[in-house]
């Protein structure tokens, strides 16, 4: 029989978890309200008229699009094709083949008739050696850099060294852009007279969509429950979290799948760090830190409208591996820059953003996991502990499903990317089930990421692609 004092201690811990979850729910509710007002204010504008003026070269800034590619034979041709048809006056595309072991290199060379060239490369960031540089004989703004394998961050650094223009965009090799995405993601940079030094766009899930020759023909949902839940998860992360944080210059993450950076400031910060699995967040944090230490007023923003469609895992093993890696990357960035936490020298980044990412994003899964353990324990104990079980379950539903449902409704209320009512209904119904099965899985995987981190595991993990474009 369990000792009463021990049960009292367990009860105290359960109450601490309950209070923690209430605080997080209040915080998420505030972010939700900010996101709602921000989205409605933006989307009451005439969206077409807003971007027409930016098609003139005089109003825009030239951009180098860097596409790191490692074993992307399934989708690289379609991704490049979608980039070649974007509505933007001046840009170049630099595909960086990071020592692929499949036919990625051969496919690009053959499909775009690439010829080897001699191109001056200013080595502003240290990288693995470049083997050859190619240029398309039919498309003068398309380049291919073949290099020794060094990882995604190293490939991005090579792209920065090879780029010609003052801004660069990073784009995953399996992604497809909407035609006006660059006009929209560059707008805050241009409008702010370059006070904005980095701008990130929304990433949506292409699995289930009809894509041909790098163009989105029809937006739809996959029949795979794992993919549907990831769609809901992405809506929640982008439409709720990033809009609210961006509004007050608190954003610490620009997705590695789609974002634009000032080359000057990225180089000033040292480029992408190659010894972390979270290179995208790490660069953004370093940029914030650099600006605060130099006392320069610059901003990093998120723009919900420009959309990049990308492939996500359909296999539970690959998804599990991805979520472990993401959580390790989060910790690496937070730990490396831990001196920012609660440090008034770094303003709102140190006093609000860093504590939020530590308390909610990093420790959140650990607290949720303990919540599930306590629910099981209290169910076994029965009696008055059933009340605790009900309380913790209701809080976990609020913490999970309710905010996911809100994100789905926010999507329909503002962006309406999914044209079929049945798709929205399906997303809404699936979001109701999140707390029951999907969220506990992701919580477990992220906790496994913590254990991997403690064990010193720095592996990236394989991400198999099947290609989303025909």
Residue-wise pLDDT tens digits, 446-462: 999 999 988 887 776 66
Q: Please give the share of the chain, as a percent, with pLDDT higher than 90.
A: 47
Helix (H, G, I), strand (E, B) or coil at 212: strand
- Looking at residue 52, its pLDDT comes to 58
Fold of 1-470: Spore Coat Polysaccharide Biosynthesis Protein SpsA; Chain A (3.90.550)
Helices (H), 337-414: 347-348, 354-356, 364-381, 385-397, 403-413
Which residue has better confidence, 174 or 328? 328
Q: How far apart are CA 45 and CA 241, in angstroms?
A: 23
Please, what sign has the CA dihedral across residues 304, 305, 306, 309?
A: positive
Q: Which of 358, 439, 154, 181 is nearest to 275 (CA)?
A: 154
Confidence of residue 394 (pLDDT cuts 50, 70, 90): confident
pTM, to two decimals:
0.90
Most confident of 52-61, 82-91, 100-109, 383-392: 100-109
**For 41-111, where are the E strands, in sequence order?**
63-69, 91-98
Q: How far apart are CA 465 and CA 207, in angstroms?
A: 11
Confidence of residue 26 (pLDDT cuts 50, 70, 90): confident
Give mean pLDDT, residues 290-300. 94
Whether the per-residue pLDDT at 69 is higher than 70: the answer is yes
Give mean pLDDT, residues 175-197. 87
- Tell me the C-alpha to C-alpha distance, in Å, between residue 74 and each of 104, 124, 147, 180, 470: 8, 32, 20, 24, 10
Confidence of residue 351 (pLDDT cuts 50, 70, 90): very high
Q: Are 198 and 242 in contact (CB under 8 A)?
A: no
Q: How far apart are CA 424 and CA 63, in angstroms?
A: 35
- Looking at residue 462, its pLDDT comes to 61
Q: How far apart are CA 45 and CA 307, in angstroms?
A: 18
For residue 231, what are its two tokens?
Answer: 């769609």
Give mean pLDDT, residues 70-82. 88
Whether the per-residue pLDDT at 50 is higher than 60: the answer is no
- Looking at residue 2, its pLDDT comes to 47
- Looking at residue 461, its pLDDT comes to 60
- Tell me what the pLDDT averaged over the chain comes to: 87
Q: How far apart are CA 391 and CA 378, in angstroms?
A: 11
Confidence of residue 465 (pLDDT cuts 50, 70, 90): low
Which residue has better confidence, 22 or 442? 442
* Other C-beta atoms lying within 10 Å of the C-beta of residue 390: 12
What does the pLDDT look like over 353-368, one tens digit per residue? 999 999 999 999 999 8
Give mean pLDDT, residues 88-104. 93
- Looking at residue 1, its pLDDT comes to 45
Q: In what order do the strands lie in the sheet with 114-117?
A: 114-117, 130-136, 142-147, 91-98, 63-69, 167-171, 258-262, 196-205, 299-310, 176-177
Confidence of residue 7 (pLDDT cuts 50, 70, 90): confident
Whether the per-residue pLDDT at 217 is higher than 90: the answer is no
Whether the per-residue pLDDT at 46 is higher than 80: the answer is no
Name residues whose C-beta falls within 8 Å of residue 425's C-beta, 6 or more positions apart in sequence. none
Q: Which of 44-53, 79-88, 431-440 is the least confident region?
A: 44-53
What does the pLDDT look like over 101-139, one tens digit per residue? 999 999 999 999 999 998 888 889 999 999 999 999 999
């Amino acid at each position: 029989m369990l000792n009463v004092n021990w049960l009292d201690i367990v009860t105290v811990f359960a109450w601490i978890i309950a209070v923690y979850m209430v605080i997080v729910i209040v915080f998420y509710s505030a972010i939700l309200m900010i996101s709602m007002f921000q989205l409605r204010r933006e989307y009451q504008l005439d969206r077409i008229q807003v971007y027409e003026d930016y098609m003139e070269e005089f109003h825009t800034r030239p951009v180098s699009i860097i596409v790191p590619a490692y074993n992307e034979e399934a989708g690289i041709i379609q991704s490049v094709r979608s980039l070649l048809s974007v509505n933007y006056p001046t840009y170049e595309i630099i595909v960086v083949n990071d020592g692929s072991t499949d036919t990625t290199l051969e496919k690009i060379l053959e499909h775009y008739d690439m010829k080897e060239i001699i191109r001056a490369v200013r080595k502003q960031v240290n990288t693995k050696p470049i083997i050859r540089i190619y240029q398309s004989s039919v498309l003068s703004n398309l380049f291919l850099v073949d290099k020794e394998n060094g990882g995604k961050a190293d490939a991005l650094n090579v792209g920065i060294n090879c780029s010609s223009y003052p801004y660069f965009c990073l784009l995953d090799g399996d992604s497809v852009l909407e035609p006006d995405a660059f006009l929209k993601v560059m707008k805050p940079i241009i409008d702010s007279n370059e006070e904005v030094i980095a701008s990130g766009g929304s990433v949506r899930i292409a699995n289930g969509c009809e894509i041909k020759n790098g163009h989105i023909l029809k937006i739809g949902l996959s029949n795979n429950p794992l993919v549907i839940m990831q769609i809901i998860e992405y809506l929640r992360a982008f439409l709720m979290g990033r809009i609210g944080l961006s509004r007050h210059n608190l954003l610490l993450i620009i997705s590695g799948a789609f974002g634009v950076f000032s080359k000057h400031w990225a180089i000033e910060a040292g480029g992408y760090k190659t010894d972390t699995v979270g290179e995208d967040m790490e660069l953004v944090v370093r940029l914030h830190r650099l600006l605060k230490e130099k006392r320069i007023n610059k901003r990093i923003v998120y723009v919900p409208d420009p959309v990049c469609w990308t492939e996500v895992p359909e296999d539970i093993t690959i998804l599990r591996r991805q979520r472990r890696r993401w959580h390790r990357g989060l910790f690496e960035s937070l730990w490396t820059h831990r001196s920012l936490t609660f440090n008034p020298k770094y303003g709102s980044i140190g006093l609000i953003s860093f504590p939020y990412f530590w308390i909610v994003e990093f420790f959140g899964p650990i607290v949720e996991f303990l919540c599930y353990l306590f629910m099981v324990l209290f169910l076994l104990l029965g009696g008055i502990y059933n009340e605790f079980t009900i309380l913790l379950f209701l809080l976990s539903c609020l913490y999970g499903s309710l905010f996911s449902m809100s994100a789905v409704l926010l999507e329909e209320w503002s962006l309406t990317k999914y044209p079929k009512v049945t798709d929205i209904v399906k997303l809404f119904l699936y979001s109701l089930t999140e707390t029951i099965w999907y969220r506990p899985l992701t919580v477990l995987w992220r906790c496994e990421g913590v254990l991997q981190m403690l064990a010193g595991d720095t592996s990236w993990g394989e991400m198999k692609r099947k290609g989303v474009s025909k």
